[in-house]
Amino acid sequence: MEGEADGPRPPRRTVLVADPSPENADSLALILAECGYRVRTAGTAAEALAAAVGEPPDVLITEALFPDADGFALVEQVAAATPERPLFVLLTGRVVPAESVRRARFDAHFLKPADPGVLIDVLMAHASRRHAGPPK
């Protein structure tokens, strides 16, 4: 049975990784895929928005800066265009003020290079909360 031998596995969740660096996006996608996530990548904010609207992800992990826009605007657009709000994770190489992160409605914020184990823990906790349902 699933999860008996190797511990609990995350439900098959869809993660969209938006990063203008193909190396960053691909390496994170590989790590997430090995952990059981279905991962798509996008190299621009426009590609990420189109991917999110076409097939809404459970999680959006985004960089703060893109050549065509920024991750803050992307989160706003995805939230407005998708029927169910994904978990929004900011994964960036630049220092961003905590107030800006909160105002943009990011659920988590990591500075590159992020510890993959901590990132996976955040994704698993989010999945667990979604499947637990409303409090009784």
Q: Can you give the CATH number for the domain in which 111 is found? A: 3.40.50.2300
Sequence-separated (6 or more) residues with CB below 8 Å from residue 42: 16, 17, 18, 19, 25, 48, 50, 51
Q: What range does the domain containing 29 cover?
A: 14-128
pLDDT at site 8: 54
Q: Residue 86 in contact with residue 78, Cβ under 8 Å?
A: yes
In a domain, 103, yes or no: yes
Strand order in the sheet with 59-62: 38-42, 14-18, 59-62, 87-92, 108-111
Q: What total of structural domains would you count in the chain?
A: 1
In a domain, 1, yes or no: no
In a domain, 6, yes or no: no
How many other CB atoms are found less than 10 A from the CB of residue 81? 12
In a domain, 116, yes or no: yes
CA distance 108 to 59: 11
pLDDT (tens, 9 = 90+) of the chain, 136 residues, equals 444 445 555 456 899 999 999 999 999 999 999 999 999 999 999 999 999 999 999 999 999 999 999 899 999 999 999 989 999 999 998 888 888 888 888 999 999 989 999 999 999 888 777 655 443 3
- The model carries a pTM of 0.84
